[in-house]
Amino acid sequence: MNIEQIETFLMVTEAKNLSIAAKNLFISQSAVSHRIRSLEEALGCELLIRSRGEKFVSLTLKGEEFVEIATRWKTLSNETKLWTLQESKMNLKLASIDSLNTCVFSSLYKDIINSNNAISLNVSSHWSKTVYDLIESNEIDIGFTLNSLKYPNAIATPLFKSRGVVISSTYSKYPKEVHPHDLKTSDEILFSYIPEYEIWHNFWWEHDQSEYSSVDTVSLLFTMFDLKEKWAIVPIWIARKFEKIHPVKISELSTEPPEYACYHVFNRNPKPSKVKTIKQFSEALENYMKTEEFLDSIK
C-alpha cells in the first residue's frame, strides 16, 4: 500500500468514475484500475463495486469506511513531505546570573528569538555555581557568569570587564566622584556577585559590616532608589540599565573596586546535536558585542 494508491482511491470516490479519475490524475484508466486492485489486495477486501457496462462506480461498505482512513493517510503524507523540507528547529538552553540576563544580554536574546527561526532559545537565571553545575552535567549549553570556577568539563573564557560605580537617587548628596570614606554603610544596599568585591568592601568598611541592607536581583535593586541617601556599588552595565528605566545618579569611585569580569561558560564536550546551534549562537554573540548598544552599556 502506497500514497499513489491512496490518492487514486480518493480521486475515484470523488469522481465516481474511473475515466474521470484517470483524467484528473493524468494517467490511463488501466493504471487507475491497477492501483485500485493492488490496494484491495493489500487490504484484503473490495473497496469498489464495478458494474459491467456502467460508467459510474460505487463504494462497498468497507470502501465507505476506508475513505476516512485514506484521507488521514494522505494528510499525514503531506505533513511528512513538508516536515522533510523544513529545517529542524534547534533548541539551545542558556543560563546566566540574573543581572547579566537583564542588563547585558536581553537584547541579544530578543534578536535571536525575533530573527532566527532555526533556534529555539530557552533562557534561565541562576547563581554562578548552579550555572557551572548545569554546564558540567550538559543540562544547559551556554552559560554567563561573573566568576571563573574550576570544573573538569566546564570551560570559562573571559568576554569583557567593567568597572564598578556608585548609584544613588538623583536627589542624593553624592558628588560625581566619591571616596569610600564618604559612603555610610547604614545607607548601603549591598549587591555583588564576586568574592573580590567582598574583600575590597571589607577593607573599607571593616567595622560596619552589620549595618547595610542587601538584595540579590536587579529587579529588587531597581525598586530601592526612590530612597534619598541609599547607594549601591554595581557594575557600570547595571547603572546604564538603570538610566533607561529610572532616573539615577552615577558616581565614579576615587578608589576603584575590583573589575567585574564576565565569563562565557561551555562544556568541553558538548552534545553532538548541539554543536551547530552553539556555533550559530557564538557567532551571534560575537556580532552583538561589536554593536554600539553593547559597547555603550559596559563603558
Task: Tell me the pLDDT tens digit for each residue of 93-102.
Answer: 999 999 999 9
Instruction: Please determine, for residue 232, whether its predicted confidence score (pLDDT) is greater than 90.
Output: yes
User: Where do the DSSP E strands lie in 14-118?
Assistant: 48-49, 58-59, 90-96
Residue 197 C-alpha cell reads as 568585591
Q: Residue 54 has what pLDDT?
A: 63
* H-run or E-run covering 76: helix 61-85
Ranking 97-106, 116-125, 182-191 by mean pLDDT, the lowest is 116-125
Ranking 50-64, 113-127, 162-176, 221-235 by mean pLDDT, the lowest is 50-64
Comparison of pLDDT for 116 and 50, the residue scoring more: 50
Ranking 13-22, 109-118, 124-133, 255-264 by mean pLDDT, the lowest is 109-118
Topology adopted by domain 90-161+261-297: D-Maltodextrin-Binding Protein; domain 2 (3.40.190)
Alpha helices in 205-299 (DSSP H): 218-222, 236-245, 275-288, 292-297
Helix, coil or strand: residue 94: strand
The model's confidence at residue 208, banded by pLDDT at 50, 70 and 90, is low
Q: Residue 265 has what pLDDT?
A: 97
The model's confidence at residue 222, banded by pLDDT at 50, 70 and 90, is confident
User: What is the Cα gyration radius of the chain?
Assistant: 33
Q: Residue 105 has what pLDDT?
A: 96
Segment 271-279 shows an average pLDDT of 90
Rounded to whole angstroms, the Cα distance separating 140 from 142 reads 6
- DSSP summary character for residue 56: B
Give pTM, 2 decimals: 0.71
The model's confidence at residue 106, banded by pLDDT at 50, 70 and 90, is very high
Segment 42-64 shows an average pLDDT of 85
| Amino acid at residue number 51 | S
Residue 171 C-alpha cell reads as 536627589
Q: Residue 226 has what pLDDT?
A: 78
Residue 196 C-alpha cell reads as 573580590
Instruction: Please determine, for residue 209, whether its predicted confidence score (pLDDT) is greater than 90.
Output: no
Segment 278-297 shows an average pLDDT of 94
Q: Residue 85 has what pLDDT?
A: 65
With a pLDDT cut of 90, the percent of the chain lying above it is 64
Rounded to whole angstroms, the Cα distance separating 189 from 157 reads 30
Rounded to whole angstroms, the Cα distance separating 8 from 24 reads 10
**Which superfamily does 164-258 belong to?**
Periplasmic binding protein-like II (3.40.190.10)
Helix, coil or strand: residue 191: coil
HSE-CB at 176 with a 13 A cutoff on CA atoms is: 0
* H-run or E-run covering 29: helix 29-43
Whether residue 164 contacts residue 197, with contact meaning beta carbons closer than 8 Å, is answered with yes
Cα distance from N-terminal residue to C-terminal residue, the chain:
67
Instruction: Please determine, for residue 117, whether its predicted confidence score (pLDDT) is greater than 70.
Output: no
User: Where do the DSSP E strands lie in 27-131?
Assistant: 48-49, 58-59, 90-96, 119-125
Segment 223-237 shows an average pLDDT of 89
Integer angstrom CA distances of residue 282 from 18, 67, 205, 276: 59, 51, 41, 10
Ranges for all domains in the chain classified under CATH 3.40.190.10: 90-161+261-297, 164-258
Whether residue 138 contacts residue 151, with contact meaning beta carbons closer than 8 Å, is answered with no
Instruction: Please determine, for residue 91, whether its predicted confidence score (pLDDT) is greater than 70.
Output: yes
CATH class of 3-85: mainly alpha
Segment 164-187 shows an average pLDDT of 92
* pLDDT tens per residue across span 131-171: 999 999 999 999 999 999 999 999 999 999 999 999 999 98
Instruction: Please determine, for residue 240, whether its predicted confidence score (pLDDT) is greater than 90.
Output: yes
Is the Cα torsion angle 39, 43, 47, 50 positive or negative in sign?
positive
Comparison of pLDDT for 182 and 82, the residue scoring more: 182
